[in-house]
């Protein structure tokens, strides 16, 4: 087939049979989210670029699909635009704009395409569908546990099996950096590197931490603790002198206590090596993985200050996203 007939790299066409199968999956997810009390919200496919920048970390900002202006629009003075990177930042913008009109807590779901200026590869696309659900206005761990249970039920409703939830907290990670004397200026880069432990051998992660400016002995000790088979107990020991770290462990424990009895025991656990790269996370974070499946099937966490960053009130928030293709 001539190349001009192929869809752009990292995108796909869906003929009738696959389209109907996907629509059936979306219907299952929509029914589960609605059963948990979440209501729908639709936002534009593109946003102002300044709304998106700075919310995803340095690595994420590089993957934002910018919209180029040409002709008469180039000198119009209109704000630069970009395709949405996820559903969370557009939700935060809506909350900042319409906060007084929304109920408290505000539980919403959204389903639609998002875009990443990524290098396409096996199982990775530049355009893919996210099924997102969030609760704004509740700082309770009940809200985090409810999100996790809703995602679990949606995945089970799709007939998926063998998947599991890994939980951590950004406070645990902050406490670890403090405990090992990692300078604050190196913190974000160190976390991005630690996030690669599931994809790269420990020695490669240690080398990258050293390249980023961390003392090699400290890097080796940090990787050894986080990557150990008994990492949960070793991390807890390391955090005994950190208020942030202890608060993070308590946060994870409370969510596990609430969600754990509602899920099969083997499907949820504390994973101190889990980082999640998006910079807007502030507390509990989680991912769903399955043996033999690269990357995560779903993920989310608490982002208590994102709405304030966009000029709205300081509203606690938590959410998660299930990717259909990614």
Amino acid 278: pLDDT:
77
Do residue 114 and residue 182 come from a single domain? no
Mean pLDDT value across the chain? 91
CA torsion sign for 152, 153, 155, 160 is positive
Per-residue confidence at 75, pLDDT binned at 50, 70, 90? low
Per-residue confidence at 65, pLDDT binned at 50, 70, 90? very high
Domain ranges, residue 71: 1-132
Per-residue confidence at 73, pLDDT binned at 50, 70, 90? low
Average pLDDT score over residue span 144-162: 96
Do residue 98 and residue 168 come from a single domain? no
| Residue 322 in domain | no
The domain that holds 97 is classified in CATH as 3.30.930.10
| Percentage of residues in the chain having pLDDT higher than 90 | 71
Q: Is residue 122 scored above 70 in pLDDT?
A: no
The tens digit of pLDDT for each residue in 242-281 reads 999 999 999 999 999 999 999 988 899 999 989 887 788 9
Do residue 192 and residue 105 come from a single domain? no
| Residue 13 in domain | yes
Do residue 150 and residue 276 come from a single domain? yes
Per-residue confidence at 108, pLDDT binned at 50, 70, 90? very high
Do residue 124 and residue 97 come from a single domain? yes
| Residue 311 in domain | no
């Amino acid at each position: 087939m001539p190349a001009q007939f192929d869809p752009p790299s990292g995108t796909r066409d869906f003929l009738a049979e696959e389209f109907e199968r996907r629509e059936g999956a979306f219907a299952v997810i929509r029914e589960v989210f609605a059963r948990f009390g979440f209501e729908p919200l639709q936002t534009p496919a593109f946003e102002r670029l300044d709304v998106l920048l700075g919310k995803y970390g340095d690595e994420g900002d590089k993957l934002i699909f910018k919209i180029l202006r040409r002709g008469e629009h180039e000198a119009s003075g209109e704000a630069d635009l970009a395709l949405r990177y996820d559903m969370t930042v557009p939700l935060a913008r809506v909350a900042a704009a319409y906060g007084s009109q929304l109920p408290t807590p505000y539980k919403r779901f959204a389903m639609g395409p998002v875009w990443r200026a990524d290098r396409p590869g096996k199982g990775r696309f530049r355009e893919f569908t996210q099924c997102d659900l969030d609760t704004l206005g509740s700082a309770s761990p009940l809200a985090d546990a409810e999100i996790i249970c809703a995602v679990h039920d949606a995945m089970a409703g799709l007939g998926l099996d063998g998947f599991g939830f890994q939980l951590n907290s950004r406070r645990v990670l902050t406490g670890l950096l403090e405990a090992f004397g990692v300078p604050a200026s190196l913190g974000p880069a160190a976390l991005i590197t630690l996030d690669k432990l599931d994809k790269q051998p420990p020695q490669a992660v240690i080398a990258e931490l050293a390249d980023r400016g961390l003392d090699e002995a400290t890097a080796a000790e940090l990787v050894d603790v986080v990557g150990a088979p008994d990492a949960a107990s070793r991390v807890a020991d390391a955090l005994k002198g950190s208020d942030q770290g202890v608060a993070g462990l308590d946060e994870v424990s409370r969510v596990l206590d609430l969600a754990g009895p509602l899920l099969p025991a083997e499907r949820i656990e504390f994973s101190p090596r889990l980082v999640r790269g998006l910079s807007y996370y502030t507390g509990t974070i989680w991912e769903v993985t399955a043996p033999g499946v690269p990357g995560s099937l779903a993920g989310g966490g608490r982002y208590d200050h994102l709405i304030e960053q966009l000029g709205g009130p300081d509203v606690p928030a938590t959410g998660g996203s299930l990717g259909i293709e990614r």
